[in-house]
Amino acid sequence: MANSLSVGDKAPEFSLKSQTGKAYRLTDLKGKWVVLYFYPKDDTPGCTKQACSIRDFHGEFQKRGIEVFGISIDDEKSHADFASKFSLPFPLLADTAHSVSLAYGAFSNGKYSDRFTYVIAPDQTISHIFKKVNVDAHAQEVLAVINNH
């Protein structure tokens, strides 16, 4: 079952388009730390706080060579509007078919189970899973986890 991903597992491959139409694949990111955060909906209060937290620390992620992606089932246009409205400098990936969200266990029964974040190591194994997210301090929590590896 998709929800059974654990630390040490190989991260499921994905290929999704961002708000700019650019396609991203996990295999193209091998050798880098990757953060995938799954969120329920663009431009809602909790999702906005979470995205802005990551935006505010984006320079730290960049300095460390960490790739950050937000993923929801919203389409590219919705993502583009959300990214523009809040000056989000990282890709928001459109999982309109739900396939990636299902593979990572973030989506079931027709909705997001909760906010999930996966930290993927350079060898593309799952290094850490956040199953509950503090939307205000999430960026700092993710950076701390990566700093400890």
Mean pLDDT of 25-44: 95
pLDDT value of residue 2: 43
Q: Please say whether the beta carbons of 123 and 99 come within 8 A.
A: no
Q: Is the pTM of this model over 0.85?
A: yes
Buried-state track 49-81, b at ≥16 Cβ within 10 A, e below 16? bbbbbbbebbebbeeeebbbbbbbbbebebbbe
Each residue's pLDDT tens digit, 136-148: 888 999 999 998 8
Residue with tokens 């979470």: 50
- Which position among 11, 16, 47, 83 bears the catalytic label? 47
Each residue's pLDDT tens digit, 62-103: 999 999 999 999 999 999 999 999 999 999 999 999 999 999
Domains by residue range for the chain, with CATH = 8-147 (3.40.30.10)
3-state secondary structure of 126: strand
Each residue's pLDDT tens digit, 49-64: 999 999 999 999 999 9
Q: pLDDT class for 3, splitting at 50, 70, 90?
A: low
Question: Quick count: other Cβ atoms within 10 Å of Cβ 103?
Answer: 16
Q: Is the pLDDT of residue 21 over 50?
A: yes
Q: Is 52 a catalytic residue?
A: no
